[in-house]
Amino acid sequence: MSRVARLAKIIRIIGRYRLDEFIDPGRLHALPRTVLRCAPWRLHRAPALPRGVRLRRALEELGPVFIKFGQMLSTRRDLLPQDIANELAKLQDEVPPFPQQQSINIIETALGKPVTELFASFEATPMASASVAQVHAAKLHTGEQVVVKVVRPDIEAVIRQDLALMFTLARLVAKYLPQGRRLRPVEVVSDYQLVILDELDLSREAANACQLRRNFEGSKLVYIPEVHWDYTCRNVFTMERISGIPVTDMDTLREKGVDLKVLGERGVEIFFTQVFRDSFFHADMHPGNIFVDASDPADPTYIAVDCAIVGSLSDSDQYYLARNLLAIFQRDYREVAQLHVECGWVPPQTRVQDFESAMRAVCEPIFERPLSEISFGELLVYLFRTAGRFDMEVQPSLVLLQKTLLNIEGLGRQLYPELNLWDTAQPFLEEWVQERYSPQSVFKRLQRHAPSWLEQLPQLPDVVIDSLQQSREIEQRFTQQQRHMNELQQQSSSRVARQRRYTVAAIACIAAAVSVFPGAWQQLSQAPLISWLLGALALGLLWPRVS
């Protein structure tokens, strides 16, 4: 489909669901009235549906790329009204599979061998199909059961075409939608572009899975399937086939006698362990990617798949996030405000007392409820939204963190409604902060940086000498410039003083002549030549001299 045809389809769908009603009419004053009256959406009557439902259905009709964008947009609850965010969260990424032979051709081209040589058995009918890839079951010659993920053919060209149109729509939203600039739609589309283009590289997903598997090796919290690198490349990903209960299958979990309280608390522990211990977290932990190993119902283990999207925090972000969360637990809004300014999440000129007051207004009504009823993820959304009023630029890593926390908390509450995330999180954070600044931890960080410092140590004298030399040169240049400025000021002062002296002398001469020869002066002043000479003399006396 050409770009023009695709744009025409988008306009038809916008008109069918009357998405133009999202736009403030007052912002369309620059357009001619005839254009507004003849707009294609005027041909349709607005469906009798809530605005969130209309937007969701429009995205579903626009296809996989827009569906995935809507899914990501639903996590930006700091930017969207609640009704729209809730409706977009219902988007399902169910796409018809592409032809089996195409899938086989992609695998054989990528791995350089026929499927019959690569695998002992291969199921041509896909197990599942999504917007970017589909999955087939297979068996290696060594006997391991695996799944083979294959990127859709020519999907990158389609994605890039739709991204170009999304950027156009985002710029229109920023210009015409109420509060469009605050929503920062262009930045949101840019974040989405990075996410979806990364998902096209399955070798990146495989590397993420290996890292997560290594981080939780031997742990009962979560299991990550093994990657088979000999059968993995950019557009083909082969991993261990797992057997587990979908985390949303509550009937089966209860039937197996799974301890749902333990399962819910472990989800929270997994999140904080990934964020603060490893600084590497699975950022797409929605229920479709989570299964449960119930072989020991009293000691269940999560199984996580689809590691295409991961997040990471810097050391400073980890530290400031932990202290912010602890300050929120303790309702110390002054510290929350100071930490936001200190870590650069809000501009340095932000008045701490104003930000503190805004935080208090948001948090106090929430804390009036029992802790077990407070959504930690929603509170984080409210804080980001409030900080947005103070020009906080939310970093992508923090957005992924917020999204993951919302997923984990929602999952935990679904498993065990009485789950109190605060009771699980607060001891973890307090222990983490205390351990971070223990002598052992500080010594470990020194050890980690020691090789780099030792490598640079021999260059230190040269660096010091160069710095001193540069300092002296800068000082000399400054002294020369200052001396030159002083000379210019003196010259200017001399010219002004000299000009004043000449002016005073001229006035004195004229005054003396008038007083001594009043009659003669009157006669001479009537002579044109004499008048002209006196004027020239006065002008000459008043004209500034160049020294």
Is there a contact between 323 and 332 (Cβ–Cβ < 8 Å)?
A: no
Bridge partners of residue 347, in order along the sequence:
none
Structure-token pair, residue 474: 């800068």
Q: Which residue has the tokens 């058995």?
A: 121
Which of 259, 284, 293, 317 is flagged as catalytic?
284
Q: For residues 140 and 545, what is the distance between their CA atoms, to the nearest angstrom? A: 98
Q: For residues 77 and 218, what is the distance between their CA atoms, to the nearest angstrom? A: 36
Radius of gyration of the chain (CA): 36
Q: Which residue has the tokens 């001396």?
A: 483
Amino acid at site 71: Q
Q: For residues 113 and 515, what is the distance between their CA atoms, to the nearest angstrom? A: 118
**Dihedral, CA of residue 320, residue 73, residue 287 and residue 96, to nearest 10:** -150
In terms of Cα–Cα distance, which of 391, 323, 326, 400 is closest to 355?
A: 391
**Dihedral, CA of residue 156, residue 239, residue 279 and residue 455, to nearest 10:** -90
Structure-token pair, residue 352: 């701490």
CA 292 to chain centre: 31
Q: For residues 541 and 7, what is the distance between their CA atoms, to the nearest angstrom? A: 78
Amino acid at site 197: L
Sign of CA dihedral 380, 385, 391, 393: positive
Examine the residue annotation and report whether 284 is marked as an active-site residue of this protein: yes
Q: Which residue has the tokens 């020009």?
A: 391
3-state secondary structure of 53: helix
Q: For residues 380 and 403, what is the distance between their CA atoms, to the nearest angstrom? A: 10
How many angstroms separate the Cα of 429 from the Cα of each of 112, 131, 309, 384?
A: 49, 38, 24, 20
Amino acid at site 287: P
Q: Strand runs (DSSP E) across 91-218, as ranges?
A: 121-122, 128-129, 133-139, 145-151
3-state secondary structure of 419: coil
Number of alpha carbons in the 13 Å side-chain half-sphere of residue 7: 10
User: Which residues are marked as active site?
Assistant: 284
